[in-house]
Amino acid sequence: MYHKPVLLNEVLEHLKVNKNAKYIDATLGDGGHATEILKMGGTVLGLDVNPEALQRAADRIKELGLDENFTGVTGNFKDIEQIALSNGFEAVSGVLFDLGYSTYELEESNIGLSFLEDQPLDMRLDSTLGVTAADLVNALPEERLANIMFNYSDERMSRRFAKAIVEARKLKKIQTTRQLAEIIKSAAPSDYERGRINPATRTFQALRIAVNNELENLENSLPRAARLLLPGGRIVVISFHSLEDGIVKQFGLDAQPKLSKVVKKPLVPTEEEISENPRARSAKMRVFERCAE
């Protein structure tokens, strides 16, 4: 029923959850990590840009009888500092960023994050954002589309796929995930990535990043989150592709000496976790600690 949280044991261990200490889950999703922090006695501020996701997690937390120490806020983590200050979380023991999408968001949210279901080509996690994925694929020049695919997902067939999209939209407006996935599939060579991934995978990733301004938001959010930490407090970040991980790694370097790196190399899921939850396979977790003044 609920998304299985990635690297759960590692998150709890490295956040060093203490009773009555305050934590921020900047990417609440289904609340998998947050519920476990609450069970351990932590007080949690949960953020999510999607009000439906927030309500779903809040209902789950209430059903478990853990809502007394939980505050849920609809908002983007780029505004984490302002949201935290408004809700009494100006000094916290830990902040968690899990940058993956929940199963609910990918399959049931009806905003077209995945090509596994035929849904409107929207991709906005925050419905107040003005531009949808359909807007991009139907309006951007071919070169801009190719650049988005290449820069945000390292799609080597970006120019080929962009050309196919532009040709297809001349005949009919591209409005659904299935339409876009079929256009890309028809343009892909038969041996694309030796069959390891669907040809549409990287294009959908790139569009999600572009629509939701994910990389810039992450870059802005991390130093703001760091300012909320008590001495000894930690930031834990789980990323799922190299661009995100690169931003997190650079943040750690830029934040020295105020923050120190807790783990030398990113933590990754065990083979056992990957077998139980294949979506965890690309996860990388970095941990930073606020140094004493």
DSSP of 21-46, one letter per residue? -EEEESS-TT-HHHHHHHHTT-EEEE
Residues 62 and 138 in one domain: no
Determine the pLDDT at residue 25. Answer: 98
**Complete edge-to-edge strand list for the sheet that includes strand 70-74:** 70-74, 43-48, 22-25, 92-98, 229-239, 284-290, 259-261
Q: Is 97 annotated as a binding residue?
A: no
What does residue 176 show for φ and ψ, rounded to 5 degrees?
A: -130, 160
109 within a domain of the structure (yes/no): no
Distance CA 173, CA 187 (A): 17
258 within a domain of the structure (yes/no): yes
- Tell me what the pLDDT averaged over the chain comes to: 95
Residues 155 and 205 in one domain: yes
What is the pLDDT averaged over residues 274-291?
A: 94
143 within a domain of the structure (yes/no): yes
Q: Is 233 annotated as a binding residue?
A: no
Residues 19 and 75 in one domain: yes
- Among candidate residues 185, 212, 239, the one where a domain is terminated: 212
Determine the pLDDT at residue 27. Answer: 96
Q: What is the extent of the structural domain holding 188? A: 130-212
The number of distinct structural domains making up the chain is 2
Residues 90 and 61 in one domain: yes
Residues 199 and 220 in one domain: no
Q: pLDDT per residue over 85-138, tens digit each? A: 999 999 999 999 999 987 778 777 889 999 988 999 999 999 889 999 999 999
Determine the pLDDT at residue 1. Answer: 67
Q: pLDDT per residue over 12-47, tens digit each? A: 999 999 999 999 999 999 999 999 999 999 999 999
- Among candidate residues 181, 212, 243, the one where a domain is terminated: 212
Distance CA 110, CA 132 (A): 13
Residues 83 and 32 in one domain: yes
80 within a domain of the structure (yes/no): yes
2 within a domain of the structure (yes/no): no
Determine the pLDDT at residue 86. Answer: 98
Q: Is 288 annotated as a binding residue?
A: no
Residues 65 and 55 in one domain: yes
Q: Is 32 annotated as a binding residue?
A: yes
Residues 188 and 219 in one domain: no
121 within a domain of the structure (yes/no): no
Q: Is 65 annotated as a binding residue?
A: no
Entry pTM: 0.94
What is the pLDDT averaged over residues 262-283?
A: 94
Q: Is 161 annotated as a binding residue?
A: no
What is the pLDDT averaged over residues 162-180?
A: 98
- Among candidate residues 189, 212, 235, the one where a domain is terminated: 212
